[in-house]
Amino acid sequence: METPLIDFEKPTRHLKKQVSFLVVDDEQRAREGLIRLLQRNWSDITEAEDGDQAIGLIQKRKFNLIILDLNMPGKTGDQVLAFIRDKKITTPVIVISGESSINKVTEALRLGAYDIFRKPYNFDELEHAIRNALDKSRIEDEKSQIQSRLKHSEQLHRYMVDNSPDLIYILDLAGKFTFVNDSVTKLLGYEKSDLMGKHYSEFLAEEDRLKAEYVFNERRRESRSNRNIELRLKCNPLDPVRPFEVTTCPIELNSMGIYSADSKDTKIVGTYQGTYGVARDISSRKEAEKLITYQAYHDLLTKLPNRAMLYDRLDLAIKQAERTGEVLIIMFLDLDRFKLINDSFGHVVGDQLLIEVAERLKAETRTGDTLARLGGDEFMLLLPQPTSREQAQRVALKLITSMQQPFFLKNKEVYVNVSVGISVFPDDSDDINTLVKNADMAMYEVKSSGKNGYIFYNDKLEHAAAEKISIESGLRNAIKNDELEMFYQPQIDLKTEQIVGVEALLRWNHPKLGLRSPNYFITHAEESRIIDQLSEWVLNRVAVDLFSDKTFQESPIKVSVNLSATDIRQKEFPENLVTYIEDLHIKPSRLEIEITENMFMSDIQACIYKLQVLSNKGISIAIDDFGTGFSSLNYLRELPVHTVKIDYSFVSEIEHSKKGAALVAAIVGMAQGLGINVIAEGVESSIQSEYLESLGCHIMQGFLFGRPVAVDDFLSAVTRQESSSSSLSTT
């Protein structure tokens, strides 16, 4: 399509231009006489002495008026007139001729002469005719300019209409299309002819027909007549160029009644002619809106509803339950040990697991239930009424059971369990936040009492939560109030019957409850980050208690100190520890740190590096509670481990089950194979110690050899041992 280039601002130029004349006459005197007369009013006058010269000049430039003689040698005036007519030149020609024959005159007029004067002529009359001719010519010029501008303007508007990204249409009184622009093909896949003469309703989605009726029949004018509504238009499913997946397309419609101006009715001003309108394709806006709403209410990983949607539904469900007096169940679900899986397999695998978990959980719910992901490994399930505690119990069991089959991640079997805390409306609270908090509290209770199960919220939980707070605040004061104590338990080498090591065990002398084991408070200390201060305190105390004692200092006995995962996770952990014990004058070779294997699960590479730093400095590393953790034996080859400590739970099984004994034998065998020291923990009977010795594990720790005791008692034993060994060596 050609681009219209119209300069609407341009003024009509010829009005300002000087008027130009061409005077054609073979008689020089007559020509000059006429020119002189013309020069009184006009200055741009060109002369030609015959027809040929005149034609040459007319071809070269445009004159406003030509005054032409008829009888001339060569080309005659008639021939010049014929030339002008044939070339469709619009310049008016006034003929001045000596001819008086009527035929000649008629011929000249027929050929298009504007007027004819017979020589001799009256110049005033001629001048009058000239002015008339010029006026007429100017009016003609203006008219043709207006026409050409109109033509261009129409082209421009047609261009704009056809190239509009919107669908532009006109409907007649009956609601039939009388005009549609080219966009119809692009937008709906129809040819224009498919729509022309058809009723608009044929192209509307069925559900939108009623809604459209009013707008398409819009009869009012001015601002009130504009109607914007959303409608869906059917697309042509057979469109060969652009096949649509959907068969309707939402459009925003703006329609306005058309009136004809010739109406005599003064009230309505014009008669209603039909409807003009513009339909805009808002598919992408609709898509974006849909996506935004979806994102606001869904968890993008699992596609489950998110917290916002859950709270929305919960709010509604509570209001309904309040009216009907029925029961509502909320379950808080948290995966057990998800963090370990995430840390050891990476976030991508962790995410995959969450997706699969969500699918399994979802499969156990019914339509109407809301299963939402709150974030991380936390999910929440809302069972709307009618329901009961028994029903909740059944659902919780189903959810827990659904996790029993392994998940396959990176071709490995992975097991995850879920802990479920349940709160009930209205028994536990009638407030959303409290209900959620109570379910959360119940879930934590499941976690602390062994995980993988469900518990209903009850008042005792509140008590446990309060206890947690009291332990944490008590611990914060424990150091300041001097309530911490260190106990020491010897590690004996049965070959020499000598104390070869000692484990430093922390105690809290609680002002009300008396001496408490770390089992009572370590987890709380870790959660509240008080552990950092505790670990420092322990190392400090060990330095003061043991290394300030000369006998101990000179003995070869190693001290084992328990560290928590939180300690090791600190970025500068190995460097800080090395500096700290240097300041305390503890020789690295006399120190062994005990860590549990679960600590390695979080970022094994960082662990290897950190432990290597310590090992290079001469500090020994022992794996505590070996065999109880959640990891493969593989890491033993990678980590700089010096000692494994067989857990009490295995040692205590030795005399009760063959399997237990075999397990202990396997651990000892494996450690020996890798050249790692083994210490048996919690040895309480001679049957156990004899069995362990028979396996080649001869370093033991347990009540059989000595309970954890206060420093003075321990140092007395060391003194006894060292003096007897020195007296032995001197004898």
Q: Which residues bind to ligand C2E, rule: CB under 6 A? A: 489, 505-506, 517-519, 522, 538, 562-564, 594, 624-625, 648, 681-684, 701-703, 708
Cβ proximity to ligand C2E: between 302 and 701 the closer is 701
Least separation in angstroms between residue 592's CB and ligand C2E is: 12
Least separation in angstroms between residue 522's CB and Mg ion is: 11
Least separation in angstroms between residue 602's CB and ligand C2E is: 16
Among Mg ion, ligand C2E, none, partner that 505 touches (CB below 5 to 8 angstroms by kind): ligand C2E
Q: Spell 373-394 as b/e; 16+ CB within 10 A means b.
A: bbeebbbbbbbbbebeeeebee
Least separation in angstroms between residue 473's CB and Mg ion is: 27
Nearest by Cα to 188 from 254, 230, 229, 238: 238
How are strands ordered across the β-sheet holding 271-281?
177-180, 167-172, 271-281, 248-260, 227-234
Q: What is the dihedral of CA 681, 683, 688, 690, to 10 degrees?
A: 90
Among Mg ion, ligand C2E, none, partner that 178 touches (CB below 5 to 8 angstroms by kind): none
Among ligand C2E, Mg ion, none, partner that 522 touches (CB below 5 to 8 angstroms by kind): ligand C2E
Among ligand C2E, Mg ion, none, partner that 538 touches (CB below 5 to 8 angstroms by kind): ligand C2E
Nearest by Cα to 504 from 448, 535, 542: 542
Q: 129 to each of 41, 115, 125, 592, 719, how far by Cα in Å? A: 14, 7, 6, 127, 147
Distance of alpha carbon 160 from the chain centroid: 38
Among Mg ion, ligand C2E, none, partner that 49 touches (CB below 5 to 8 angstroms by kind): none
User: Which stretches does DSSP call E strand in 174-224?
Assistant: 177-180
176: phi then psi, degrees, rounded to nearest 5: -100, 150
Among ligand C2E, Mg ion, none, partner that 702 touches (CB below 5 to 8 angstroms by kind): ligand C2E
Residue 678 to residue 699: CA distance in whole angstroms = 7
Q: What is the dihedral of CA 201, 206, 208, 212, to 10 degrees?
A: 20
Least separation in angstroms between residue 704's CB and ligand C2E is: 7
Q: 122 to each of 19, 396, 595, how far by Cα in Å? A: 21, 121, 131
Least separation in angstroms between residue 522's CB and ligand C2E is: 5
Cβ proximity to ligand C2E: between 198 and 516 the closer is 516
Nearest by Cα to 642 from 601, 607, 614, 683: 614
Q: Which residue has the tokens 């929305």?
A: 312
- Upstream peptide bond of 386 is cis (omega within 30 degrees of 0): yes
Nearest by Cα to 202 from 177, 180, 181: 177
Least separation in angstroms between residue 701's CB and Mg ion is: 9
Cβ proximity to Mg ion: between 96 and 531 the closer is 531
Among Mg ion, ligand C2E, none, partner that 731 touches (CB below 5 to 8 angstroms by kind): none
Cβ proximity to ligand C2E: between 231 and 471 the closer is 471
Among ligand C2E, Mg ion, none, partner that 302 touches (CB below 5 to 8 angstroms by kind): none
Cβ proximity to ligand C2E: between 407 and 648 the closer is 648
Least separation in angstroms between residue 542's CB and ligand C2E is: 9
Cβ proximity to ligand C2E: between 456 and 650 the closer is 650
Least separation in angstroms between residue 624's CB and ligand C2E is: 5
Q: Tokens in use for 560?
A: 């084992």
Least separation in angstroms between residue 701's CB and ligand C2E is: 6
Least separation in angstroms between residue 453's CB and ligand C2E is: 24
Cβ proximity to ligand C2E: between 45 and 543 the closer is 543
Cβ proximity to ligand C2E: between 598 and 719 the closer is 598
- On whether the CB atoms of residues 566 and 508 are closer than 8 A, the answer is no
Among Mg ion, ligand C2E, none, partner that 168 touches (CB below 5 to 8 angstroms by kind): none
Q: 718 to each of 459, 501, 564, 569, how far by Cα in Å? A: 50, 10, 28, 35
Residue 293 to residue 144: CA distance in whole angstroms = 59
Run of H or E residues at 403:
none
The pairing of strands 591-596 and 620-626 is: parallel
* Stretch touching Mg ion by CB under 5 A, among 45-53, 178-186, 451-459, 561-569: 561-569
Least separation in angstroms between residue 612's CB and ligand C2E is: 21
| CA distance between the termini of the chain | 120
Cβ proximity to Mg ion: between 218 and 624 the closer is 624
Least separation in angstroms between residue 471's CB and Mg ion is: 21
Cβ proximity to Mg ion: between 218 and 625 the closer is 625
Total binding residues for Mg ion by CB under 5 A?
A: 5
Nearest by Cα to 252 from 273, 283, 217: 283
Among ligand C2E, Mg ion, none, partner that 619 touches (CB below 5 to 8 angstroms by kind): none
Cβ proximity to Mg ion: between 487 and 573 the closer is 487
**Cα angle 435-439-443, degrees, rounded to a multiple of 5:** 170
Window 575-634: residues binding Mg ion (CB under 5 A): 594, 624-625
Among ligand C2E, Mg ion, none, partner that 708 touches (CB below 5 to 8 angstroms by kind): ligand C2E
Among Mg ion, ligand C2E, none, partner that 440 touches (CB below 5 to 8 angstroms by kind): none
Among Mg ion, ligand C2E, none, partner that 703 touches (CB below 5 to 8 angstroms by kind): ligand C2E
Q: Tokens in use for 490?
A: 């010897």
Residue 367 to residue 379: CA distance in whole angstroms = 17
Least separation in angstroms between residue 595's CB and ligand C2E is: 9
Residue 717 to residue 715: CA distance in whole angstroms = 5
Among ligand C2E, Mg ion, none, partner that 474 touches (CB below 5 to 8 angstroms by kind): none
Distance of alpha carbon 109 from the chain centroid: 83
Cβ proximity to Mg ion: between 383 and 531 the closer is 531
Query: For the purposes of burial, counting CB atoms within 10 Å of the CB of 229, is it exposed (0-12), middle (13-18) or buried (19 or more)?
Result: middle
- On whether the CB atoms of residues 64 and 38 are closer than 8 A, the answer is no
Least separation in angstroms between residue 680's CB and ligand C2E is: 10
Among ligand C2E, Mg ion, none, partner that 248 touches (CB below 5 to 8 angstroms by kind): none
Cβ proximity to ligand C2E: between 439 and 531 the closer is 531
Cβ proximity to ligand C2E: between 49 and 503 the closer is 503
Cβ proximity to ligand C2E: between 116 and 505 the closer is 505
| DSSP codes, 228-257 | EEEEEEEP-TT-SSS--SSSEEEEEEEEEE
Q: Does 562 help bind Mg ion (rule: CB under 5 A)?
A: yes
Where does this chain bind Mg ion (CB under 5 A)? 562, 594, 624-625, 681
